[in-house]
Structure 1
Amino acid sequence: MALVTVTDPARDYLAQLIEKQDVEGMGVRIFVTQPGTKNAETCLAYCPPNEVVPTDEQLDMGKFTLFLDHNSVPFLEEAYVDYSKDQMGGQLTIKAPNAKVPKIDDDAPLPDRVNYILASEINPNLAAHGGDVSLVEIVEESVAVLRFGGGCQGCSAVSLTLKQGVESTLKERVPEITAVRDVTDHTVTENAYYQ
Structure 2
Amino acid sequence: MDSIIVTPEAITYLAELLAKQNVEGMGVRVSVSQGGTPQAQTCFAYCRPGEEQEADIKLPFDGFIMHLDQPSLPYLKEASVDYDSDELGGGQLTIKAPNAKRFHIDENSSVSDKVTYFLVNEVNPSLAAHGGMVQLIEMIEDDTVAILQFGGGCQGCGMVDVTLKDGVEKTLLERIPELKGVKDMTDHSVTENAFYK
TM tier, shorter chain? 0.5 to 0.7
Residue type at the aligned position of 1:81: S
Distance 2:138 2:154 in 1: 16
Structure 1 stretches (4+) deviating beyond 6 angstroms? 34-40, 98-101, 135-138, 142-145, 156-165
Distance 2:81 2:112 in 1: 34
Distance 1:144 1:94, change over 3 A: same
Q: Is the 8 A contact 2:146 2:182 kept in 1?
A: yes
Residue type at the aligned position of 1:114: V
SS at match of 1:78: helix
Corresponding residue for residue 70 of structure 2: 73
Corresponding residue for residue 28 of structure 2: 28
Corresponding residue for residue 133 of structure 1: 135
- Count how many residue pairs are aligned between Structure 1 and Structure 2: 181
Distance 1:97 1:131 in 2: 22
Distance 1:147 1:159, change over 3 A: same
Residue type at the aligned position of 2:135: V
Distance 1:186 1:34, change over 3 A: closer
Q: Indicate the RMSD between aligned Cα atoms, in angstroms.
A: 5.5
Q: Give % identity.
A: 35
Shift in Å, 1:66: 0.6
Corresponding residue for residue 92 of structure 1: 94
SS at match of 2:46: strand
Distance 1:62 1:43 in 2: 22
Distance 2:162 2:84 in 1: 42
Distance 1:164 1:62 in 2: 57
Could you state the TM-score of these two structures normalised by the residue count of structure 2?
0.52
SS at match of 2:114: helix
Matched, 1:45 2:45: yes
Shift in Å, 1:28: 1.6
Q: Is the 8 A contact 1:146 1:181 kept in 2?
A: yes
Q: Is the 8 A contact 1:151 1:193 kept in 2?
A: yes
Could you state the TM-score of these two structures normalised by the residue count of structure 1?
0.52
Distance 2:189 2:168 in 1: 20
Corresponding residue for residue 115 of structure 1: 116
